[in-house]
Structure formats: structure tokens, C-alpha cells
Amino acid sequence: MEVSKPRPLQSLQALRALAAAAVVVYHLINAEVVYGGGLQILGGLAHLGFAGVDMFFAISGFIMVMVSSGKFGDRRGALDFLAKRFIRIFPLYWSCTGAIALVLSVRPGLLDPALLDRSLIRSLFLLPQEGGPLLVVGWTLTFELFFYLMTAMALAFGSERNIPFMLCGWAVALALLQWVPVQGPWAQLVTSPLAFEFIAGAAAAILWKSLSPRQGVVVLCAAVALALLAAWTLLNRSDFGQTHGVRTLAFAIPCALTLAAAARLELAGWWPVSRWAAALGDASYSLYLTHVFVLSLSGRLWIAVAPTGTITMNALFLASSFIACCVVALLTYRFVERPLLDLGNRWLAHIRLGAQAGSLPR
């Protein structure tokens, strides 16, 4: 009997698309401030678009548990895991960071002068630094890299049945560290409460199969209710809750519950599958990395060819910029990200074959 490959959860791809789109909307607020002719029509819930990052962290925890199943206790497997993550993150990220470095060297006046103080080496390897990397959205990838290292350590030295205990231990240690004053980007990375979102997503990956479809509906309703409560609370804050501790309290649980419910409902055939959502989910990493370039370019083009400062024109600017971000992301995924991934995976397979050949007796 032929066994088919497990199909990726399309619900997770849809949530990836939603998370990336939310971040784009959030950054559109600043784009309108800069290019909107003094009028701002985007506000309100758009300020909470930063929560797309929180969903990304929860999704990351969920996926790490899923892909690690059956691979614990293998140190070579842990290195293989890190190699795959390296291939997944760095090629496209280096392309985008290289573009910024090139502009800084040729036309530095086009970018924020503060970028001149950032370390290129630290930026390229996503090492923590004050102010973050050259690519403004790259700070989240520094967290992702940290989460991957924690996962690799669990794969190398832990066991699958102890995942709940490892997650609880990490959560308790992290909670205690919130009372310890820390300074410096490295300490802030390790002690950041944003790790609770990764932990919550990982916990959702453990629990979702134990839900019945009807329980999945209840969990999804609870997630929506908690998200709405968080949104209502944060919209009454001057900073909209963007500090790490506040956003974690607001969104970690709703994001994790949404993931568990969506996965369970899809397994039961109760989750609507959209080809467009799945496609944008596939391209979500490209969307996340490239949208800052697209918004800057679309803003400069818009003020050069069309007037802004009216509700109609600003609405057209926002809508066209959002669509442009999505189109560029889909093209980038098709012609840049996907080929780079294929090339990296072929290279990794070649390395594996070489290692296996070298270990054979002669």
C-alpha cells in the first residue's frame, strides 16, 4: 500500500497569511503618516496589526513541535534541524539585508540615518544589538533563531514524552526572570516574555488532537472573545500595548487557542480551505521581509504621480500599496524564495550523502 505524504495544515497557512497581512496593515499607518499629505484615515484596530508578530511566534512553537515528532534524542538530527532552519531563514533575509546595505553605501540619504550605527555583521547573522538589525522587521528573526536553538537543544538532549515538562520548566524560569532587572540586547533576548508565545504555540501543538470538533468550535469562539477583549483593552492605551509584556498577556493565549482550534477543525473538515489564503501563507515570509521595501517605493511613486491629503486618494494609496505588497510577495516567493529553498535543500542532501558515504566501511 502506498503511503501518501502528510499534507501541511492549510489552516496554519491561512493564519500565516493573516499574520503577515496584519503586520503590513500596521506598517501602512506609518506609510500614510509619511506619504499621506497630512491626513490619516488608517487607525483604530490597524494599530493592533503588530499582533501578527505574536501569531507568528505562536505558529513557530506549534510547528516546531509538529516537525520534531519522533526526532528526539538524536544529536545529529538536531544539527540537521538547525541546518534546515538556516536554509529556511537566511538566504532570503540576506538578500533583503544586502539590498539595504547597498542603498546605505550608495544613497544613504534615502534611509533612516540611525541605520548607519547598526552592525552589518550582527545584522547578517541576526545577533542581538541595540536598535535591532538593518532590516527593521529582522528583530523578530533574532527571536526565531533563539527559539530554534532552544528546540535543537531539546532534540539533542531531551525526550519527546518530556516535552510538556520542558515547556513548563522554561515557562517557570522565564516567569521568574521577569523579576530580574536585565540590561543589554543578549539578556533582553533570553528573558523576553515573547517566548511565552512560542511556548503557548508549542502547548497547542500537544493538545489539539485531544479536542473533539465541537470542542474545537468552542475553543475558537473563546479565542475570538479573548482577542476582542484584548483589542478593546489595548486600544484604550496610549502605546496600544506594544511593550513585550503587555502584548504577551494580551495575545499569547488567543493565538495558541486559535491554532489548536483551527488545526482540529481542519482535521474534521470543518475549516474552509482557500487557495488564495494558502498561497499567501506560502509567501508569508516573503511578504514579511519585502513589504517594507514595497511601502517605501509605493509611497514615493504615489506622491510623485498623484495627490494625497483627501480621504479618497489616501484610501486608494493604502489599498494599492497593500495589493502591491501581496503581489510582490507572491512573485518573490515564486522566483526567489522557492528557488533558494530548493537550492539549499539540494545542497543539504548532498552534504548528507557525502557524510553517509564517508561513514561506510571500506
Counting every residue written for the chain, the total comes to 362
Q: Would residue 317 count as lying in a domain?
A: yes
Q: Which of 199, 281, 260, 290 is nearest to 15 (CA)?
A: 281
Q: Which of 157, 133, 153 is nearest to 143 (CA)?
A: 133
Name the pTM for this structure. Answer: 0.94
Show Cβ contacts of residue 33 under 8 Å, excluding neighbours closer than 6 positions. 40
**Residue in this structure with the C-alpha cell 496554519, named with its chain if needed:** 12
Query: Which pLDDT value is given to residue 54?
Result: 97
Query: Which pLDDT value is given to residue 243?
Result: 86
Q: Would residue 5 count as lying in a domain?
A: no
The average confidence (pLDDT) of the chain is 92
Query: At 285, which helix (H) or strand (E)?
Result: helix 284-305
Q: In terms of residue numbers, what domain contains 59? A: 10-345
- Cα diameter, the chain: 77
| Three-state SS at 116 | helix
**Structure confidence by residue, pLDDT tens digits, 299-320:** 999 999 888 789 999 999 999 9
Q: Which of 18, 30, 49 is nearest to 318 (CA)?
A: 30
Q: Would residue 1 count as lying in a domain?
A: no
Judged against a pLDDT cut of 50, whether residue 202 lies above it is answered with yes
Q: What is the mean pLDDT of residues 99-116?
A: 90
Q: Would residue 355 count as lying in a domain?
A: no
Distances 30 to 35, 39, 311 between C-alpha atoms, Å: 9, 12, 16
Judged against a pLDDT cut of 70, whether residue 356 lies above it is answered with no
Which three cell numbers, joined as nine digits, stand for 196? Answer: 511565552
- How far is it, in rounded angstroms, from Cα 214 to Cα 339? 41
Distances 291 to 155, 294, 328 between C-alpha atoms, Å: 34, 5, 8
Confidence of residue 360 (pLDDT cuts 50, 70, 90): low
Which three cell numbers, joined as nine digits, stand for 53? Answer: 508578530
Q: Would residue 340 count as lying in a domain?
A: yes
Neighbours of 209 (CB within 10 A): 10
Note whether 189 and 143 are within 8 A (CB).
yes
**Structure confidence by residue, pLDDT tens digits, 85-103:** 999 999 999 999 999 999 9
Rounded to 5 degrees, φ, ψ at 283 are -95, 10
- How far is it, in rounded angstroms, from Cα 98 to Cα 104? 10
Q: Would residue 361 count as lying in a domain?
A: no
Judged against a pLDDT cut of 90, whether residue 192 lies above it is answered with yes
Domains held by the chain: number: 1
The gap from C-alpha 1 to its chain's centroid, in whole angstroms, comes to 38
- How far is it, in rounded angstroms, from Cα 281 to Cα 85? 18
Q: Would residue 129 count as lying in a domain?
A: yes
Confidence of residue 4 (pLDDT cuts 50, 70, 90): very low
Question: 78: which DSSP letter?
Answer: H
Contacts of 317-321 with CB under 8 Å at 24 or more apart are 317/32, 317/35, 317/36, 318/28, 318/31, 318/32, 318/41, 318/42, 321/28, 321/31, 321/294, 321/295
Q: Would residue 362 count as lying in a domain?
A: no
**Structure confidence by residue, pLDDT tens digits, 245-276:** 999 999 999 999 999 999 999 999 998 878 89
Query: Which pLDDT value is given to residue 242?
Result: 80
